[in-house]
Chains A and B, each alone.
Chain A
Amino acid sequence: EPEVTQTPSHQVTQMGQEVILRCVPISNHLYFYWYRQILGQKVEFLVSFYNNEISEKSEIFDDQFSVERPDGSNFTLKIRSTKLEDSAMYFCASSALQGVIGEQYFGPGTRLTVT
């Protein structure tokens, strides 16, 4: 069964460093998403991406964040200068159809720890 994969599973970085979180969506999916979940809190939408551009973003997704689909298979989330409060699980998701009826499939997540 096809699945979304994410690497690394755990990333530890120092405050102020740049990190890139990687995702490989399901191969025939067209819509891609990043979410984060701070420990003990709810899953929060960051950004959605379609046709090589951002279609929606939340207020969390500020200038420190960027997304890219560099090679047609990977979908990346870059945090330019990490802060302590960026520590969270980051989930990638993909769907075949637009959100109103599209079903999102989530990856296993990357645990980001900023020290």
Chain B
Amino acid sequence: TQLLEQSPQFLSIQEGENLTVYCNSSSVFSSLQWYRQEPGEGPVLLVTVVTGGEVKKLKRLTFQFGDARKDSSLHITAAQPGDTGLYLCAGAFNFNKFYFGSGTKLNVKP
């Protein structure tokens, strides 16, 4: 079983702070996706990264794919209470087989 390690597992910060969440594996991904999941709902896709070294921005969220395509990070600038949620990374090792990390639970306090 391919393992994706996400860190930290929990993060509680004040509104306005910056944060970074990490997703790591010893294996090479063909692509990696970041999702956000609310309790009792399905994951909602935020971004897909494919190329090593790729950086994508989504408003205050910056996603980076490692050069070797084994790791990724999600950076949030000036976090807001609306960013509170569970952030998941999912790596594709084959074209149609995906493995999820266990997630980072983010709480942004007003």
Contacts and interface: CB of A to CB of B under 8 A. Distances in A.
Contacts of A104: 33, 45, 98
Would you call the interface of chain B mostly helix, strand, loop, or mixed?
strand
Contacts of B90: 43
Contacts, number: 73
Nearest to A31: B96
Interface in A19-63: 31, 33, 35, 41-45, 48, 50, 55-56, 58-59
Interface stretch (A70-78, A79-87, A105-113): A105-113
Interface residues on B, range: 20 to 34
Contacts of A55: 95-96
Given A99-B30, A101-B31, A56 B41 contact: no
B98 A99 contact: yes
Nearest to B99: A45
Interface of A: 4, 31, 33, 35, 41-45, 48, 50, 55-56, 58-59, 89, 91, 93, 98-101, 103-109, 111
Given A48-B96, A89-B40, A107-B42, 20 more contacts: A33-B96, A42-B88, A45-B98, A56-B94, A91-B42, A93-B42, A98-B96, A99-B30, A99-B31, A99-B92, A99-B96, A99-B97, A100-B50, A100-B92, A105-B45, A106-B42, A106-B44, A106-B45, A109-B40, A109-B42
